Amino acid sequence: MPTPIAEVPYFSQWESAAMTPEVLRDGKAALRRDPLWRASGAGSVEEYARWADQVCGMACLKMILAHRTSHRWPVLELARGCAEYGGYVEEADGTIRGLIYAPFTRFVRERFGIEARVVTEVTAADLPTILREADFFVASVHPAIRWPEAEPPGRGGHLVLVTEATAEGVVFHNPSGHDRAAQEAVRLPLEVFGGFFAGRGVATYFEEHPC
C-alpha cells in the first residue's frame, strides 16, 4: 500500500542536509567541515568523509526504520552492519563498493524483520504496480535527478526512497538533494523520473509477500 509521504521522515546522507552544494563543489573536504559528523556514528571525521558519499542507501533505510519504529539509526552503524552481510565491500585501496542489493535484502530481513526483494529490468511505468504491494521502493537513479529540468546525463549511481507512485508520477525523498525542494517529498512525472531511473532497486515490505 502507498505510504503517506507526511509520515516518512527525511534524512540526508550527510548529517548537515544543507551542505549538499558544498559537497558537490568540494567533495570530502566539505564533509570534513560538517559540524554534525559525530551523529553519523563515525569514529572519526575521516571515517565519516570516506563513507558519507556511499551511504545513500543507508539514508533510505534510516528513513524506513524511523517511519516504522521512530528510532533514528546512525547511518554508519547501519553501513557497518550491512557490510557484515556483504552489502558494502571495502577495497584494498580504501574505496568502498556498494550498495550491493542481495546482501542488503538479507541484512534488513535478519536485523530488522523487513522483507525485501531485488527488482530489475523495470521501467518507471512499473512503479505504481510495485508500490501497490510494497511499502517503499529504493530506486537507482542518476544523482543529477536533483535537477530534473536538465537533460539526464545517465541512469543509476544513486539511491532515492520512493514512497508513492501513480500514473501521474512518483514521490520520493532524495538523500543528496541540494535544497529542500530537491530533498523531501519530491514529485516528478513518471516520464521525467524515468529519464534518470536505471530500472532497478529494492522493494521493501513490512508484511510477508509472495516472492
pLDDT (tens digit, 9 = 90+) per residue, 88-138?
A: 998 888 789 989 999 999 999 999 999 999 999 999 999 999 999 999 999
Q: Is residue 131 part of a domain?
A: yes
What's the pLDDT score for residue 19? Answer: 94
What digits encode the pLDDT tens for the residues 172-194? Answer: 999 999 999 999 999 999 999 99
What digits encode the pLDDT tens for the residues 62-78? Answer: 999 999 888 899 999 99
| Residue 210 banded pLDDT, cuts 50, 70, 90 | very low
Query: For residue 211, is pLDDT > 70?
Result: no
The CA-based dihedral angle spanning residues 25, 27, 30, 35, taken in that order and rounded to the nearest 10 degrees? 130
In a domain, 210, yes or no: no
Does some domain include residue 41? yes
| 53: in domain | yes
Residue-number span of the structural domain to which 101 is assigned: 5-205
Give the residue from 142, 137, 140 showing the smallest Cα distance to 164.
137
Give the CATH number for residue 29.
Answer: 3.90.70.10
Contacts of 181 (CB under 8 A, 6+ apart): none
**How many folded domains does the chain comprise?**
1
- pTM of the entire predicted model: 0.92
Degrees to nearest 5, angle at CA 79 with 107 and 160: 85
78 is a domain residue:
yes
Please indicate, yes or no, if residue 211 is contained in any of the structural domains: no
In a domain, 178, yes or no: yes
By C-alpha distance, which of 130, 131, 121, 136 is closest to 197? 121
Residue 136 located in a structural domain:
yes
Which pLDDT score is estimated for 91?
85
